[in-house]
Amino acid sequence: MTNDIASLIPVAISWIGALSDLIARTGLPLNDAQITIARSVGVVHPEKIRLLGVDAIPVPDDAKLRQAAHSSGLLSPNMAGLTLGYGIYIRRGQATTRLLSHEFRHVYQYEQAGSIESFISIYLQQILTVGYQLAPLEIDAREHEIQGLTARY
């Protein structure tokens, strides 16, 4: 792991932790259909997931983290969802079954990693070395997308 990536991990963990806590307090629990989708992509504890609809996905305040996320393709103006542990931001009007199944697969990945810290260390390494599209965790999430109609929440 390069020093640049290693220095970004604690900043990312802090940012993700704060946003995850916010979503846990203000987000909505999954409905029965969404719980079924989450379970179908491997989520062990779908009852812990919270969704928060936003007009735009937040970006980090830290300039280096924000730049790394943008240059790797992780964050973009067209981004429709962002998973932070059991908290998921969904841009309003974008809550399709396909997007939810993708984001729920990231919840599964967090569960398998055991913590936000463990997951983000692996995920950032992948994103910042091979880019968003080629990162193995992103490929896995895309492979678990379920096609379907808009899922309202």
Q: Write out pLDDT tens, residues 119-149.
A: 999 998 998 889 889 999 999 999 999 876 5
Higher-confidence position of 79 and 77: 79
Q: Is the pLDDT of residue 26 over 90?
A: yes
Q: pLDDT tens digits for 54-64?
A: 999 999 999 99
Beta carbons within 10 angstroms of residue 110's beta carbon: 23
What confidence score (pLDDT) does residue 153 get? 46
Q: What φ, ψ does residue 64 adopt, rounded to 5°? A: -70, -40
Asked if residue 150 is part of any domain, the answer here is no
Asked if residue 152 is part of any domain, the answer here is no
Mean per-residue pLDDT over the chain, rounded: 91
Asked if residue 10 is part of any domain, the answer here is yes
Asked if residue 149 is part of any domain, the answer here is no
Domain containing 138 equals 3-143
Asked if residue 153 is part of any domain, the answer here is no
**Number of domains the chain contains:** 1
What confidence score (pLDDT) does residue 1 get? 43
Looking at residue 114, the DSSP 8-state letter turns out to be: S
Asked if residue 88 is part of any domain, the answer here is yes
Q: What is the pTM of this model?
A: 0.90
What confidence score (pLDDT) does residue 43 get? 98
Cβ atoms of 87 and 110 within 8 Å: the answer is no
